[in-house]
């Protein structure tokens, strides 16, 4: 080792290099910032707890709970003393050529019958019945999103009945909401009976509620024996009273939506077929036969319900068709009209043709 190197090592061992110290002012600043951050976080947490703190809900007494009126989420309610339309001296006799044996056209601005063809005579409402089924179901539903399991008994019962169905299968689970839309849009007899048994325990008990509702509405010429509209000589109404039932349904938000919506996606059907949609029967009757919902006199048809049976017989003993249709239309000035036709013996599209003829002939 060289002499200079030895000297350098000796000097380093005697007097090692000094370490660099952090200035005290910087340490003080860092400590201060840390303390401030800690206090800030603590204050924010404390304030959050104070703001999030909620007072416990007041406990209802047993008496208050018992006396409170039950209010269902989609229950219907009368907004008028009467929905029954009035026949007046100004009511026109429908003389235009139509297939329907009976008809009544009502202006809902004053509940006056504008035009009538045996509007007070007994008719068989067929699936127009399901409008009342819808009303009564909504009066008693407590949770529209409740899931119901379809019973095998209902599926078997309707298999050979001739009732229109939405093809529910035994054991299938479906929401009350989808059943209500299917009831009208698919004219589903299986939906009607599933709802009836779920709500009232049996179809018979549910029908009693339907007749009670008709009585409350002041309908003296209406009587139901089932919730589907299957023919019975003791299952009847009139065009005027059917118009009152439909007008009542239009006066409630949920039932109006079911009767006027153009398309509804039922979740259960996505599981069966991704592209399956429930189509409104009234829309099909008009659009499938190239008949516009926008009529030549400015009316727009915006909802309704069809009906059909072939269980009556003419004088010669031949099966007699019974095409029915209840629709609603509105004018540009806000008038809403309801039209009921029944007893059509021709083809299905005759219902749409009759509606167009009556609306455009008797509303100017």
Looking at 191-195, 282-286, 345-349, which range is the least confident one? 282-286
Q: What is the mean pLDDT of the chain?
A: 82
Residue 31 pLDDT: 58
Residue 166 pLDDT: 87
Positive or negative: CA dihedral 118, 235, 140, 197: negative
Residue 51 pLDDT: 35
Residue 160 pLDDT: 78
What mean pLDDT comes out for the span 321-343? 95
What mean pLDDT comes out for the span 318-340? 94
pLDDT category at 318 given cuts 50, 70, 90 is confident
* HEC-encoded secondary structure of the chain: CCHHHHHHHHHHHHCCCCCCCCCHHHHHHHHHHHHHHHHHHHHHHHHHHHHHCCCCCCCCCHHHHHHCCCCCCCCCCCCCCCCCCECCCCCEECCCCCCCCEEEEEECCCCEEEEEECCCCEECCHHHHHHHHHHHHHHHCCCCCCEEECCHHHHHHHCCCCCCCCCCCCCCEEEHHHHHHHHHHCCCHHHHHHHHHHHHCCHHHHHHHHHHHHHHCCCCCCECCCCCCCCCCCCEEEHHHHHHHHHHHHCCHHHHHHHHCCEECCHHHHHHCCCCCEECHHHHHHHCCCCCCECCCCCEEEEEEEEEEEEEECCCCCEEEEEEEEEEEECCCCCEEEEEEEEECCCCCHHHHHHHHHHHHHCC
Q: What percentage of residues in the chain have a pLDDT greater than 70?
A: 73
Query: Do residues 135 and 249 touch, judged by C-beta distance below 8 A?
Result: yes
**φ, ψ of residue 172 in degrees (nearest 5):** -65, 145
- The residue whose two tokens read 């007494």 is 61
State the Cα–Cα distance between residues 74 and 139, nearest whole angstrom: 7
Query: Do residues 322 and 354 touch, judged by C-beta distance below 8 A?
Result: no
Residue 282 pLDDT: 62
- Tens of pLDDT, residue by residue over 15-63, are 444 445 556 665 665 656 665 666 555 554 444 443 333 333 333 333 3
Residue 32 pLDDT: 64
Residue 340 pLDDT: 98
Above 90 in pLDDT, residue 1?
A: no
What mean pLDDT comes out for the span 275-296? 67
What mean pLDDT comes out for the span 118-131? 97
What mean pLDDT comes out for the span 288-294? 70
State the Cα–Cα distance between residues 153 and 156, nearest whole angstrom: 5
What mean pLDDT comes out for the span 195-220? 97
Output 27 or 7, whichever has higher pLDDT: 27
Residue 28 pLDDT: 60
Reading the block at residue 170, the tokens are: 């035994």
Domain chopping of the chain, boundaries: 92-362
Output 291 or 132, whichever has higher pLDDT: 132
Above 70 in pLDDT, residue 284?
A: no
Residue 118 pLDDT: 98
Output 267 or 101, whichever has higher pLDDT: 101
Residue 53 pLDDT: 36
Query: Do residues 73 and 141 touch, judged by C-beta distance below 8 A?
Result: yes
Topology of the domain comprising 92-362: Beta-lactamase (3.40.710)
Output 59 or 164, whichever has higher pLDDT: 164
Query: Do residues 338 and 103 touch, judged by C-beta distance below 8 A?
Result: no
pLDDT category at 299 given cuts 50, 70, 90 is very high
Q: What percentage of residues in the chain have a pLDDT greater than 90?
A: 60
What pTM does this model have?
0.78
Above 60 in pLDDT, residue 12?
A: no
pLDDT category at 276 given cuts 50, 70, 90 is low
Do the bridges between strand 336-344 and strand 319-330 make them parallel or antiparallel, or are there none, so unpaired?
A: antiparallel
- Tens of pLDDT, residue by residue over 64-121, are 333 334 556 788 989 999 999 999 999 999 999 999 999 999 999 999 999 999 999 9
Residue 313 pLDDT: 78
């Amino acid at each position: 080792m060289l002499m200079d190197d030895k000297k350098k090592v000796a000097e380093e061992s005697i007097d090692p290099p000094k370490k660099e110290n952090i200035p005290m002012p910087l340490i003080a600043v860092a400590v201060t910032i840390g303390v401030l951050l800690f206090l800030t976080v603590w204050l924010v947490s404390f304030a959050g707890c104070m703001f999030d703190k909620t007072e416990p809900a007041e406990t209802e007494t047993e008496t208050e709970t018992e006396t409170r009126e039950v209010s269902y989420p989609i229950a219907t309610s009368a907004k008028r003393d009467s929905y029954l339309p009035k026949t007046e001296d100004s009511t026109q006799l429908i003389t235009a050529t139509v297939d329907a044996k009976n008809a009544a056209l009502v202006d809902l601005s004053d509940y006056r019958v504008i035009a009538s063809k045996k509007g007070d005579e007994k008719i068989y409402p067929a699936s127009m019945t399901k409008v009342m089924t819808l009303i009564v179901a909504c009066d008693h539903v407590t949770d529209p999103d409740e899931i119901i399991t379809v019973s095998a008994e209902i599926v078997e019962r309707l298999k050979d009945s001739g009732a229109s169905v939405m093809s529910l299968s035994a054991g299938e689970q479906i929401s009350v909401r989808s059943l209500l839309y299917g009831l009208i849009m698919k004219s589903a007899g299986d939906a009607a009976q599933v709802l009836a048994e779920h709500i009232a325990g049996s179809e018979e008990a549910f029908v009693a509620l339907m007749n009670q509702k008709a009585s409350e509405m002041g309908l003296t010429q209406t009587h139901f024996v089932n919730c589907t509209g299957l023919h019975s000589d003791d299952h009847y109404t009139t065009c005027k009273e059917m118009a009152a039932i439909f007008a009542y349904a239009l006066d409630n938000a949920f039932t109006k939506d079911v009767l006027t919506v153009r398309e509804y996606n039922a979740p259960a059907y996505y599981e069966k077929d991704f592209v399956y949609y429930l189509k409104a029967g009234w829309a099909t009757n008009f659009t499938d036969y190239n008949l516009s919902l926008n009529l030549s006199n400015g009316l727009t048809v915006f909802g309704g319900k069809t009906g059909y049976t072939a269980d009556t017989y003419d004088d010669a003993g031949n099966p007699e068709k019974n095409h029915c249709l209840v629709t609603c239309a509105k004018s540009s000035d806000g008038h809403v009209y309801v039209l009921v036709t029944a007893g059509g013996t021709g083809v299905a599209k005759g219902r749409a043709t009759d509606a167009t003829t009556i609306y455009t002939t008797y509303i100017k």
